[in-house]
Structure 1
Amino acid sequence: MLLAAAALTRLCPGVPDSLLTGFVASHATTTLHLPTSTVPTAVMIGSGGQVVVMPLAGTLTEKFDRRLVSGIATVPTAIWVPVLFVLIQDASPSMLATSIVVGMILHALMYGPQAASIAEQLPARLRYVGSSPASTLTGVVGGAVAPLLCTLRCAKTQWWISIAAYVRVAAAATLIGMLIGRDPHDKENLELFEAGTRAAQV
């Protein structure tokens, strides 16, 4: 159960990252015929914002409930990413740049606490072996499927509806992972650490 919670927590953060820095870049230049420099500029601005927001999000989760902070970021992401595809259809460079930057900031709010969120779901002696598949395999599902789905559906009428559904399913799965996962506190962490130490000495 805890491994499933760790994996689901990782699902949604991988979706906007791959969409914003992968598919949207291609779609903007090949389909919307926007200047090639528009997307890299927006991604650079968004990345600059992520440098600030990621550690800030991690700090907030240390002071407040980690699941609460991550959940607050997940919900607007589920709303914003589908809206983004509607907004950029006007082929406005400023709208595209704004959409990408906002999406990357929301991604940073989810991604900042992620390493700690995944690791703390598992007992200390299983933390490394459990965190790796939970992060890597779910990252493939979240990060690789989204651009592929976009590419397959792009030629269809109202193709963005499929993307909206996928993003919202991923967000719902992540929220479920947060709900079924453990909400650790200092006393429990100490007990798990001591239990792991005893097990390693046997």
Structure 2
Amino acid sequence: MTVPTPPTPRGLRRVALASLVGTAIEWYDFFIYGTAAVLVFAPQFFPGSSDLAGTLAAFSTLAVGFLARPLGGALMGHFGDLVGRKSMLVLSLLLMGSATFAIGLLPTYADIGVWAPILLVVLRFLQGFGVGGEWGGAVLLAVENAPPGKRGFYGSFPQMGVPAGVILSNSVFLLILATVGKQGFIDWAWRLPFLGSIVLVAAGMLIRAKIGETPEFAETRDQGLRRNPLLTVVRDNPRQLLLAGGTFLANNAIGYVMIVYMLSYGTKTLKLSQNTMLTLVLIASAVWLVTLPAFSALSDRVGRRPVFLGGGLVLLAWSIPFFLLLDTKTIPLMVVAVVITALGLSATYGPQAALFAELFDADVRYSGASLGYQLGAIFGGGFAPFIAAWLQGTTGSSLWVGAYLTALSLISFVCITVLRGRERSTVEATPQLV
């Protein structure tokens, strides 16, 4: 039997870089779609609709990506447990990059009629499928290579890919808007972020090609893998899967409301400029990026659940004040709104990688972690921008959106209070979950 060799310090740095860069590229691809859905897809792919109907239609295509994510997570998680983490990470990046590049070439409704939104939905589905398999593999790459006692910190690197992807995507949109103006952006320049992603994907592929399998996967492979890890984890771990998904509802919904819906709300309801709203998202994402590893490292010392619970309380208490401050249209107060939200997101997202890995045995861990994550994503962030837009449009009040997010925060808070790790997990779980 092969004895797994722990990675060297240089190897650890390479793993951390591969997990961060790869996920940042994947999330850049995923998020530029969300930003474009707010700024350009309604008139380009759903013309003739009312402003609200066009926005809802664009957000509906956004949700399609979330519907595909559990499928990608299930299938790639299954094969990631069978043939290895690395191959699925390469496949997910290739699939996401190809779909994103194709969106940049897509004809609009004026060019090919109803086929334009149909093809947009198909490509969004492929994006969702790719990113569905990305998270679990990137997380396990980091966590399973991490030294004992630092799994939370190393697990934060793929998590940082989310705010890094937001910063990269919004910075690109701000640069293009400043260069070509609003009309030039709507007419043609919106395609540039999608087409340019092919360069990032190529760089990510080169980085990931240099990494190997994790020591824990190598060990389970030598001992004999389960023939059907997906079926096994669903049959043996239904409670962990459902509770893991529940812990992620609030974080994902509030994150997408801030990243995607807030752009629409700020420009169409509050009548603020696109640059102002994109800048607010950038500020929130920068705070999220910087504080995320700090909360993750803290979870190595005090446990995952205490950090999660603290962040959950912030999200629970802040969902309604968040919109009250946005509604003032006073920039300093709006900055306060997004910064405090970002702190709550960091505390409930940073330790998540290690927490989800600690719930499942190594031979079903890719399947289990991916499914738990994507269940929370589809019922949390998948429909959040659509529901938020519908609530605001039908009631005329942002407080109903805040109430919706408060309800999800309560569900997530309850889930994390009852979630426990598995002592049989080969990842050191018990000392850190209690």
Q: TM-score, normalised by structure 2?
A: 0.41
Listed as ranges, the gaps of 5+ residues in structure 1 are: 195-202
Find the counterpart in structure 2 of residue 117 from structure 1. 355
* Pick aligned residue for 2:366 from 105, 119, 128: 128
Q: For the aligned residues, what is the CA RMSD?
A: 1.9
The separation in 2 between residues aligned to 1:176 and 1:119, in whole angstroms, is 20
Conserved 8 A contact 2:309-2:417: no
Find the counterpart in structure 1 of residue 328 from structure 2. 90
Find the counterpart in structure 2 of residue 181 from structure 1. 419
* Pick aligned residue for 1:55 from 285, 290, 293: 293
Secondary structure at the counterpart of residue 50 of structure 1? helix
Q: Which amino acid aligns with 2:426?
A: F
Find the counterpart in structure 2 of residue 199 from structure 1. none
The separation in 2 between residues aligned to 1:20 and 1:67, in whole angstroms, is 24
Q: Which amino acid aligns with 1:100?
A: V
Secondary structure at the counterpart of residue 9 of structure 1? helix
Find the counterpart in structure 1 of residue 272 from structure 2. 34
Find the counterpart in structure 2 of residue 20 from structure 1. 258
Per-residue deviation, 1:107? 0.9
Q: 169-178 or 15-24, which moves further after superposition? A: 169-178
Conserved 8 A contact 2:258-2:338: yes
Per-residue deviation, 1:91? 1.9
Secondary structure at the counterpart of residue 382 of structure 2? helix
CA deviation profile, 1:3-37 (whole Å, cap 9, x unmatched): 22211122111011101111111111111111222
Find the counterpart in structure 1 of residue 426 from structure 2. 193
The separation in 2 between residues aligned to 1:157 and 1:163, in whole angstroms, is 10
Q: 1:90 to 1:8 in 2, by over 3 A?
A: same
CA deviation profile, 1:140-189 (whole Å, cap 9, x unmatched): 211122211111111234633432332222222222222222146xxx3x
Find the counterpart in structure 2 of residue 140 from structure 1. 378
The separation in 1 between residues aligned to 2:253 and 2:405, in whole angstroms, is 7
The separation in 1 between residues aligned to 2:352 and 2:425, in whole angstroms, is 20
The separation in 2 between residues aligned to 1:139 and 1:37, in whole angstroms, is 28
Conserved 8 A contact 1:11-1:171: yes
Find the counterpart in structure 2 of residue 159 from structure 1. 397
Q: Which amino acid aligns with 2:254?
A: P
Secondary structure at the counterpart of residue 43 of structure 1? helix
Q: Which amino acid aligns with 2:354?
A: A
Secondary structure at the counterpart of residue 327 of structure 2? helix
Q: Which amino acid aligns with 1:38?
A: T
Listed as ranges, the gaps of 5+ residues in structure 2 are: 1-238, 428-434
Per-residue deviation, 1:92? 1.8
Conserved 8 A contact 1:67-1:178: yes
Per-residue deviation, 1:66? 0.8
Higher Cα radius of gyration: 2
Q: 1:109 to 1:116 in 2, by over 3 A?
A: same
Percent same amino acid among aligned pairs? 25
Q: 162-171 or 147-156, which moves further after superposition? A: 162-171
Q: TM-score, normalised by structure 1?
A: 0.85
Conserved 8 A contact 1:74-1:171: yes
After the TM superposition, list the runs of 4 or more consecutive aligned residues in structure 1 that deviate by more than 6 angstroms: none
Conserved 8 A contact 1:54-1:108: yes
Find the counterpart in structure 2 of residue 108 from structure 1. 346
Q: Which amino acid aligns with 2:285?
A: S
Per-residue deviation, 1:38? 1.3
Conserved 8 A contact 1:61-1:113: yes
Conserved 8 A contact 1:146-1:163: no
Per-residue deviation, 1:95? 2.0
